[in-house]
Amino acid sequence: MSQAKIKRRIGKYEVGRTIGEGAFAKVKFARNSETGEHVAIKILEKEKVLKHKMAEQIGREIATMKLIKHPNVVRLYEVMGSRTKIYIVLEFVTGGELFDKIVNHARMSEKEARSYFQQLINAVDYCHSRGVYHRDLKPENLLLDAYGQLKVSDFGLSALSQQIQDDGLLHTTCGTPNYVAPEVLDDRGYDGAAADLWSCGVILFVLLAGYLPFDDPNLMNLYKKISAAEFTCPPWISFSARKLIARILDPNPMTRIAISEILCDEWFKKDYKPAVFEETGETNLDDIEAVFRDSEEHLVTEKKEEQPTAINAFELISMSKGLNLENLFDIEQALKRETRFTSRCPAKEIVNKIEEAVKPLGFDVQKKNYKMRLENVKAGRKGNLNIATEIFQVAPSLHMVEVRKAKGDTLEFHKFYKNLSTKLDDVVWKAEEDTEETN
């Protein structure tokens, strides 16, 4: 690829590829040039933050997150600001999402599910004790580190809480419908701790059953099922686990089991290991106020450096599962919200082939250099499916193509990629042994 690519540096961080997108933010992979540590940087546009009057909320939530240092919660390291953006530097977690394990293996053994649920409860209990409520707990927001330890992501940042009102309740309806507590849907105010616990119960059901307890293509029917706690446990779930699920998925938040009671439950207590960590001393919060200042001394410098469009070694490693590079070039790899394949075709030919493949599938195509944005004109379960693709040069005659869901339903993305891969059979590079097997 002869065209140059602009690489970015934010302060001491070398910024790489986009690893996540939301309505108000993008998340970029980055490396601390001083320590070599890999991090994730969440980037928010100041103009959007101020326009939606979110500055106070973001400042409050960031301050809380900086105080939360728990082994089962993604760490927030620091906050920086430029004239136009806010940068939130987070721990980079390499093991993928818990959602991937569910997609790949359908359901878990009770021992494995219990271990993840215990870690989830440890994290939620700790954060609730500090007044932080997630309000969008689901397997996609539960990450795994290189050792398989669970990490709750975006705690207090994915759903920015409104101030608790005079009645002591929250009043903002948010979250993913299948995991949302009935009192949140009622829109009469709710206790953040009880609502989070309901979501934990749905997650436990999914881990043990392999499917959702409440699901219906019609949103009103789904709400009715949730409000009535209308679900049935499959026969392979033990009686003690069913009993705990039933106490958590109690539609009445006043009688729903509390975390203190869960910690005493016989099923939960089996092989339970409380989180071991040291409470740190005072945390410096000066950088939060500085984020919204325009004085030169508090602004981080943004630099753009022109470099050949070649993938960096640390980016290459970050794309693989753990540090196993063999998984990076495996077309049969487990499909998540992103996947990638390699090709020996020229970059322009790859772009043209993708465009030819997706237009019959009902996608509009926008191209800029070697990046493409594909948007399905037909809305799906969660709006229009939006796909981002980018081509990287691994070697002069070898390119890697990343295909990532930017917006829409994850399962619809899975279906899209299966269709796309069949249409790109002559583009995807196969090793010689793979070619011999197909002959």
Task: Copy the structure tokens of residue 375.
Answer: 């948007």
Secondary structure letter of residue 422 according to DSSP: H
Catalytic residue among 136, 145, 191, 196: 136
Specify whether the CB–CB gap between 141 and 196 falls below 8 A.
Answer: no
Specify whether the CB–CB gap between 389 and 372 falls below 8 A.
Answer: yes
- Please tell me the number of Cα atoms within 13 Å of 319 on its side-chain side: 27
Specify which residues 270 forms β-bridges with.
Answer: none
- Going through 121-271 in order, the beta strands assigned E by DSSP cover 142-144, 150-152
Q: Is 429 helix (H, G, I), strand (E, B) or coil?
A: coil
Does residue 179 come out as left (phi exceeding 0), alpha (psi in the -120 to 50 range) or beta?
alpha
Torsion angle, CA of 350/355/360/364, rounded to 10 degrees? Answer: 150
Say how far apart CA 34 and CA 203 lie, in whole Å.
39
Decide if 287 is catalytic.
Answer: no
Q: Is 326 helix (H, G, I), strand (E, B) or coil?
A: helix
42 labelled ligand-binding? yes
Task: Copy the structure tokens of residue 46.
Answer: 């100041």
What one-character-per-residue DSSP string does 357-409 give? HHGGGTEEEEEETTEEEEEEEEEEBTEEEEEEEEEEEEETTEEEEEEEEEES-
Specify whether the CB–CB gap between 181 and 199 falls below 8 A.
Answer: yes
Crossing angle for the helix pair 239-248 and 192-209, nearest 10 degrees? 150
- Going through 85-136 in order, the beta strands assigned E by DSSP cover 85-91
**Sequence-distant (≥ 6) Cβ neighbours of residue 227 within 8 angstroms:** 182, 185, 186, 251
Q: Which residues are catalytic?
A: 136
Which residues make up each annotated binding site? 42
Which residues make up each annotated binding site for ATP? 42
